[in-house]
Amino acid sequence: MAAGAASGGAGARGAMAAGGISPSIVEFFGGEDGYRCGYCRSDTGNLSHGMWAHSMTVQDYQDLIDRGWRRSGKYIYKPIMNQTCCPQYTIRCQALHFQASKSHKKVLKKMLKFISKGDVSKGANEEEPMESHVEGAAACDFAYRSEFRVAQSEVTPLSGDHMERVENEDKDTGEAKEEVNEQKEESRSLQISTDKDTPVPGGPSHSAKIAHAPPKPGKGADLSKPPCRKAKDIRKERKLQKLLQNQACALEGSQHQAGDQRVLSQNSKPKPNQPKALEDFVFVSFPDDAPHKLEVRVVRSSPPSSQFKATFQESYQVYKRYQMVIHKDPPDKPTVHQFTRFLCDSPLEAEDAPNGPDCGYGSFHQQYWLDGKIIAVGVIDILPYCVSSVYLYYDPDYSFLSLGVYSALREIAFTRQLHEKAPDLCFYYMGFYIHSCPKMRYKGQYRPSDLLCPETYVWTPIEQCLPLLEHSKYCRFNPDAEAVDEGRVKELGRVRVLHKRTVMPYSVYKKRRNGPSDEASVQQYASLVGQTCSERMLLFRS
C-alpha cells in the first residue's frame, strides 16, 4: 500500500514543488493492529496510528510532535495512548533553563579528563539507557546549506587553572566544607555571637570535631604539623571581607549597633561559587598536545551534503557495530538499506529563514569525531521551536565515555547555541517518556522538562505528572477537567485533500468521490493532526 501511494504522491509532489517548498503530503493508515512492544515485550500490545509522509514542512512536523506524533524515517506514528501497553508521552526539556545534575557533570568531566589527559574510567560502565535517545530516523528531500560545523574557534578557551578546577571540583568542594566547619569552631571559641551558626547544607553537623578527624589517605596530613596554609588564607580572606562589610555599612549610614554588626558579619557568609554552565564543560578548547581531539560536525543528511556522502560508509559501519553489540542484531540485519530507511530517509523539507539558524532547518547527523574517526552519530531534526533527537548510535569500544548521556548534553548545548540566532528555538525534544518501563524513565532526569497531555495537548511540568503516573500508566495531565483540545477539528469540510494531482477541500472531494464514504477515516485523521495541520497538509487520496 505504501509503495503504491509513494508513486502517486511523488508525481503530485513534483507538480507542487515548482513554487518552492512543497506542502506536506501524507497518506493516513488509521489505527494499526498491535505489534511487538520493545519495552514490555508484549507481542501485540503496542498500538498506534500511522501515516506515510511523502514530504513535510518543518512547521507541520513541529505542530505534529506537539500533538504526540513522532517519525521513524518517513513513517510518522502516534501511540494510541489509552490502549497501548506502554503509553509514550512526548517529553521536552526547557534547554535555556537546563541545569546539569551531579551525574551529568560526572559524565562531562569524564570526557574532559579523557581528552585532556587520556584518563579512562576504571569503574563499571555507568551508561544510562540513553543509547538511543528516541525511536526514529533522519534525512530530508529539499536543499539548502550543505553543512554546519561547531568550529574550534567558536569555543571559549579555559585556562589551565580552570581546567584543573573543573577536574577537581568534587574534591575541592569536600575540602571547602571542612574549612568552613573549622572556621565555625574558631568563631565559637572567639564568642563573636551567641547565636548558633547557620548550618552549611550537606555539611557535617556542628558536633563534628574537625581537629580530631583522622588524616585522609593521600592528603599528607600530619597532626604534629600546623594547619595547612590554604585554610589560613581562607580565614584571612573572610576576615577581610567582614572588615570591608563593616566599612560599607558605615559609609551607607547604617545605624546598627556594634553587636548587631557582629551578628550580621557572622551570618553573611560569602556566596558559594556560581554553578558552572553546561557550556563551561562542553565548549572547551584543549592544547595542541592533548592526548585526544574531539570534534563535533553537524552535516545535513537530506539532501545529503558532500560531507555526509563522503562519510556515509564509515557512519554506517559504526551503526552496524552498535546494533550487533548493543542490540544483539545478527550481522545480516543492519543492512545499508535498513540503515538508510531508518536513519537517513526523512520527509522533512530543508528550509532556510533569515531569522533561523545558520545551518537551516531539517534533518541532520551530528557526528562525533575522535582522533580523526567517527565514534558516535546523533540523528536530529532542527525545527522552528526545538532540536528533536531522533536516535543515537556509537562505537561500542567507547561505551566507557557514556556517549548516550554525553551526546544528549551536547544536543542541549547545541539547542542553546542555535537559540542565539533563532530566538524561537529553545526546547530540546527527547522523544517519548515511558513511565511504565523503569529503564525508560531516565529522560525525566533532564530538568526542567514537561510532558504533553494526551487529551488536551498542553505541556505540564513533569513534577506534576509523576505522582499521577505512579497510580495509572495512562493519565490526563491537564488539571482543568473542563479543558478540551483547542486544536480539534471544527470544520471537516476544510481538510485539504490531494486527489488526481488536484488540491481541493474535503467538502468538494466528498461530492466527487465514487464508492463508499471515507468520512470516518478522514474525521479520525483530522482529529489526530488537528485543524491547523489538516488545513495545511495534503491528505493523499487515490
pLDDT at 421 over 80: yes
pLDDT at 36 over 70: yes
Q: Which three cell numbers stand for residue 266?
A: 557572622
Percent of the chain exceeding pLDDT 90 equals 62
Q: Which residue has the higher pLDDT, 409 or 21?
A: 409
Contact 537, 26 (CB under 8 A): yes
Which residues does 422 contact at the CB level (< 8 Å), separation at least 6?
355, 356, 357, 384
Pairing between β-strand 538-541 and β-strand 25-31 as defined by DSSP bridges = parallel
Among residues 13, 22, 57, the alpha carbon closest in space to that of 362 is found at: 57
Report field, pTM of the whole predicted structure over 0.85: no
Q: Which conformational region is residue 457 in: left (phi greater than 0), alpha (psi within -120 to 50 degrees), or beta?
A: left
Q: Which three cell numbers stand for residue 536?
A: 495545511
Among residues 390, 309, 310, the alpha carbon closest in space to that of 348 is found at: 390
In this prediction, residue 262 carries a pLDDT of: 45
Q: What is the arithmetic mean of pLDDT over 235-249? A: 67
Give tens-digit pLDDT for 164-207.
333 344 444 444 444 445 444 444 443 433 343 434 333 333 33
Rounded distance between C-alpha atoms, residue 391 and residue 428, angstroms: 13
In this prediction, residue 164 carries a pLDDT of: 39
Q: Which residue has the higher pLDDT, 339 or 129?
A: 339
In terms of Cβ atoms closer than 10 Å to its own Cβ (0-12, 13-18, 19+), residue 190 is exposed
Give tens-digit pLDDT for 118-138.
998 755 444 444 444 434 333
In this prediction, residue 130 carries a pLDDT of: 46
Q: What is the arithmetic mean of pLDDT over 453-479? A: 98
In this prediction, residue 227 carries a pLDDT of: 52
Mean pLDDT of the chain: 80
pLDDT at 539 over 90: yes
Give tens-digit pLDDT for 468-519.
999 999 999 999 999 999 999 999 999 999 999 999 999 999 999 988 999 9
Give tens-digit pLDDT for 90-118.
999 999 999 999 999 999 999 999 999 99
pLDDT at 82 over 50: yes
